Structure 1
Amino acid sequence: MPSPYADVDENLRALAGKAEGFGRRAMGGLHGGLYFVTNLSDDGCGSLREGCRREEPLWIVFQVSGTIRLSSALRVSSYKTIDGRGQKIKLTGKGLQLRECQHVIICNLELVGGRGHDVDAIQIKPKSRHIWIDRCTLRDFDDGLIDITRESTDITISRCHFSMHDKALIIGASSSNTSDRCIRVTIHHCFFDGTKQRHPRVRFAKVHLYNNYTRNWGIYAVCASVESQILSQCNIYEAGQKKSVFKYLTEKAADKEDETSGVIRSESDLFLNGAQSSLLEDAGGNGLFQAHEHYPAWTMEPASATLKVILQVCTGWQAIPRPPLDVECTNAS
């Protein structure tokens, strides 16, 4: 079976609109000019922050490699592609914020060592949509690695490597935010490498998980809370000391009288080293959304030892060349 996105590195802007799953319509800066990051400064002319704050669509590429130390969260505006192919860019200190934006693609970056209260590697809230996070390495932040909350939806996370962390990925932050019923997220071909919990934890949202490898979690692998719907297909769950894969937490939605948990359906998942699926018998996935009702196809293969090896090697930042530029130009203005 072909790997997902086999053709997206053939030319620079082939990424646009190529995500699988709920984030498949993310166009990023497809229709904008090229913006070249020419230095590793936190701000100023030629910096990443300067490109991200501009209002017009931009395809952002890097002419340097190295570490950008962020003194404050880096806000990404709508219609931006942050394309790290061809260089090795590490963001540290703080993370990225996607707030009330749409059509953002973030590809091939390292986000490491974020410090401070409520500092996430990538924070998606509120009301952001059409987002694709691909081939990023995320580890060691003081709060979460990726947070998706407050009506942010139509998001795909693919081929990312999560490690050295407690709370990896949360979707829906509170039982009081009933408007999060609109959230839809696809997570596939990711490697959750010894992170303790939240792979992901979900409230209200519809979440499709496929061909991910989660190993050696500290509390649980996947958690379904209030009204969430989680479809887990052909994933690999390899236990360490903790064996229980799926966890259910009951909470009361702000507009309901009774507490509920979510539902999980597991289809053709592979459970290794004594991992226990621990599905609720009375949940069973009845009434769960069907992925094909939302998108026609996705690239999925059986969970296997071969897939396990591939996901350890081919997730996170990759030493790949930047595809040829479609237009040679100076920074868009």
Structure 2
Amino acid sequence: HTIPLSSLLTSTTSLQFLIPRADQAVMEIQIPLSFMFLFLLVVPSCICSSPLEDPELVVEEVQKSINASRRNLAFLSCVTGNPIDDCWRCDQNWEKNRKRLADCAIGFGKHAIGGRDGKIYVVSDPGDDPVKPKPGTLRYGVIQEEPLWIIFKRDMVIKLKQELMMNSFKTIDGRGASVHIAGGPCITIQYVSNVIIHGINIHDCKQGGNAYVRDSPTHYGWRTLSDGDGVSIFGGSHVWVDHCSLSNCRDGLIDAIHGSTAITISNNYMTHHNKVMLLGHSDTFTRDKNMQVTIAFNHFGEGLVQRMPRCRHGYFHVVNNDYTQWRMYAIGGSAAPTINSQGNRFLAPNDNTFKEVTKRENTPESKWKSWNWRSTGDMMLNGAFFRASGGGASSSYARASSLAAKPSSVVSSITASAGSLLCRKDPEFVVQEVQKSINGSLRRKLGYLSCGTGNPIDDCWRCDPKWERNRKRLASCGIGFGKHAIGGKYGKVYVVSDPSDEPVKPKPGTLRHAVIQHDPLWIIFKHDMVIKLRMDLLVNSYKTIDGRGANVHLAGGPCIKVHNKTNIIIHGLHIHHCKRGGGSLRSDGDGITIFAGTHVWVDHCTLSNCFDGLIDVVHGSTAITISNNYMTHHNKVMLLGHSDSYKDDKNMQVTIAFNRFGEGLGGRMPRCRFGYFHVVNNDYTHWQQYAIGGSSSPTIFSQGNRFIASNDEDHKEVTKHFGSSEREWRKWNWRSEGDLMLNGAYFTASGGRGAARYDKASSMGARPPMLVPSITAGAGALSCKNTNLCH
């Protein structure tokens, strides 16, 4: 077929779950990547009983659904093998047919219909009033008595003031927008039924309570202190949580307790949390013996510790999930739950103390050895092992024993799209799915085979088990034009303990108080936090903002500005949903603005959804490196050069290296003016218009990048020349050397080929493009918590 697979991945180990043996037939479960890719290019990917059922029947249905989905590979061209997604994501008119999703559930929660039989309610206002919610807010929608299918008018961050008390027959459908519920109490499903939650980013949830909260149009009551879960299901039934991204909540990410049942938790992406999922109220609450929960197609990712899930009393089907991280254990329980683990992939941590997948809580072996815990067809990697117990062929497994999950090597494709999806009106094709699967395998490979990645920045410091004591070593690891940026290397360490912000009189302990100081400072964070700035964060010279060791988000307000300053390092932050700041002279709303700045290095940040650019470098700035960042969901990504008339940018030099340009990007990766730009070893998996553009005769040297074009024949070209006739731009020095072009991508070169023309645009040696997947596998903010290494 058309894709040189040796160029996509770098070792047979990272390919083992994607590539079949040479003698394997196309229609085997383990599907050849080239065969899958050929079919997936045709159609867009996302252009979605009685209270106590026979558990074995539900397990059987899940398996039948999976098998049917795989059989359809013979004639359906957008399917992934994931039966939920294959039910709705092939529909190019998904936005008009949103309610089709309600017919796609599997497992114990398959009868959750949500608001299928109700009207569409559009959330247009991210505000929140717990007692008197305004029409247009999310709270107003979820408390109504009638069924509602709730969607969102635009991207938004919703910071709830108290728990969001759901009423029955509601669907919260985040498709078509990037919706974050974060920074306050989150979702509670208490004694209600038929609820679907789909496509929401839920993170940094706090405790609520000791306050009045409305739960219907006619009733509000006093709520005691809540736990701070992402989603709390308390006495709920027929609930389905699908395609959500969850992290960093005070208690659990998803807890189902106090007699809840008929629940499916599927296709979610969970990261950076301790106690992930509790299923069962307490060891003494025997009503949970009727609890039935399906855990399917989820990705348990970076920074997770335990409870994936932790079960009590009931029946739990854990099927085809991808466990790439745990620090204590993956699946645990007490009070004799029945756990049926099928076709999962378990990658154990390197710590030999925690290789076991399972954990029995507070019970001697003489008792737990009779509990029915079974593993069938699970893949165990890096020494992982599952300690089974119970009768094996007991009645609990009689009807499930002949329906073992298919080989777990299919898990990588089934879970490739776990988490909230990009579902825009003009959606992208399944290159996204292939790429997620590829990068997922590489991330897992890096997690247990070696800490050396071939990425010269990361290999300089990430292998140090004492990185936390040696934080300032990072300042010696820069590359490219910004390699001499030392940040706060020669200053004290300043600990940010307070996420609040006061633009004029900042308090000690806040980020703003740190960055405005005249002395060099190495700024770190005491704990995870979301910082909503009230005005632009004006960073003074000789500062490092180092997010390692915490999960730090700058979101929902103006963001970072480097104005006429020097020697600044920004590392390991999540920067998203940045707004305009200022009064009459308003800022642009960039994630990071570098205005007349020099010796600046932006590394390992995750950026998305800002008002203007993600990173803009303008007005005479130079000596800049932008590396190891992960950028998604944005139109005008990166502007390098102030305007076509601002000729002082002729001295600008910027290195763009080891970044991953991901889902939902429009153009400007980067868009250059006048200066010298070295674009090296980046991974371009998405663009909707173009990747690299420019005007005013910039010199662009593209080396060793990987470009995967979209399926739109009008946008195969990597490059775009602005504001000049072809006769003029043909003189500009734009050169591609050693780039890998996939799916019809092509680079329109111009200017002379002489090496001397590119001397000022050459900042480092390029790696071969086939190494790009592994070099960029760790792009974005890393997880550097409670471990010796950062992942």
Fold shared per TM-score above 0.5: yes
CA distance in 1, matches of 2:576, 2:694: 27
Question: Residue in 2 aligned with 1:36?
Answer: 495
Question: Residue in 1 aligned with 2:768?
Answer: 302
CA distance in 2, matches of 1:130, 1:87: 25
- Secondary structure of 1:308's match? helix
Letter paired with 1:57:
P
Within 5 Å, give how 1:239-258 maps onto structure 2.
239-240=709-710, 241=712, 242-250=715-723
Q: Deviations over 1:263-286 (max 9, x none)?
A: 211001001111122324xx2545
| Alignment check: 8 A CA contact 1:224 1:264 kept | no
Question: Residue in 2 aligned with 1:319?
Answer: 783
Of stretches 186-195 and 242-251 in structure 1, the one that deviates more from structure 2 is 242-251
Q: Deviations over 1:76-127 (max 9, x none)?
A: 100000000010000012110001100000000000101236110000002x
Which of 454, 460, 477 is residue 7 of structure 1 equivalent to?
460
Which of 689, 692, 715 is residue 222 of structure 1 equivalent to?
692
CA distance in 1, matches of 2:532, 2:690: 32
Which of 485, 494, 498 is residue 26 of structure 1 equivalent to?
485
Q: Deviations over 1:233-275 (max 9, x none)?
A: 00011011220111122459xxxxx965732110010011111
Q: Which runs of 5+ in 1 are unaligned?
A: 253-257, 325-333
Q: Deviations over 1:279-314 (max 9, x none)?
A: 24xx254563226x865x44x32112x533552x31
CA distance in 1, matches of 2:486, 2:775: 27
| Alignment check: 8 A CA contact 1:268 1:302 kept | yes
- Secondary structure of 2:648's match? helix
Letter paired with 2:722:
L
- Secondary structure of 1:29's match? coil
Within 5 Å, give how 1:230-245 maps onto structure 2.
230-240=700-710, 241=712, 242-245=715-718
Within 5 Å, give how 1:166-181 maps onto structure 2.
166-181=635-650
Q: Which runs of 5+ in 2 are unaligned?
A: 1-452, 465-469, 581-586
- Call closer, same or farther: CA 1:85–1:314 in 2, change over 3 Å: same
- Secondary structure of 1:45's match? coil
Within 5 Å, give how 1:138-217 maps onto structure 2.
138-194=607-663, 195-217=665-687
Letter paired with 2:544:
T
| Alignment check: 8 A CA contact 1:224 1:262 kept | no
- Call closer, same or farther: CA 1:323–1:150 in 2, change over 3 Å: farther
CA distance in 1, matches of 2:662, 2:757: 28
- Secondary structure of 1:16's match? helix
- Call closer, same or farther: CA 1:262–1:322 in 2, change over 3 Å: farther
- Call closer, same or farther: CA 1:219–1:226 in 2, change over 3 Å: same
- Tell which structure's C-alpha radius of gyration is larger: 2
CA distance in 1, matches of 2:679, 2:615: 15
CA distance in 2, matches of 1:4, 1:143: 31
In the superposition, the TM-score normalised over structure 1's length comes to 0.88
Question: Residue in 2 aligned with 1:122?
Answer: 592
Letter paired with 2:460:
D
| Alignment check: 8 A CA contact 1:224 1:263 kept | no
Within 5 Å, give how 1:59-138 maps onto structure 2.
59-92=522-555, 93-116=557-580, 118-126=588-596, 128-138=597-607
Letter paired with 1:25:
H
Q: Deviations over 1:178-204 (max 9, x none)?
A: 011110000100011131100101001
The number of residues matched between the two structures is: 311
CA distance in 1, matches of 2:600, 2:643: 21
Letter paired with 1:207:
F
- Secondary structure of 2:553's match? strand
- Secondary structure of 1:196's match? strand
| Alignment check: 8 A CA contact 1:18 1:25 kept | no
- Secondary structure of 2:666's match? coil
| Alignment check: 8 A CA contact 2:454 2:774 kept | no
Q: Percent identity?
A: 34
- Call closer, same or farther: CA 1:95–1:303 in 2, change over 3 Å: same
| Alignment check: 8 A CA contact 1:244 1:275 kept | yes
| Alignment check: 8 A CA contact 1:248 1:262 kept | no
Which of 730, 739, 749 is residue 279 of structure 1 equivalent to?
749
In the superposition, the TM-score normalised over structure 2's length comes to 0.38
- Secondary structure of 1:141's match? coil
- Secondary structure of 2:667's match? coil
Q: CA RMSD in A?
A: 2.2
- Secondary structure of 2:577's match? strand
Letter paired with 1:68:
I
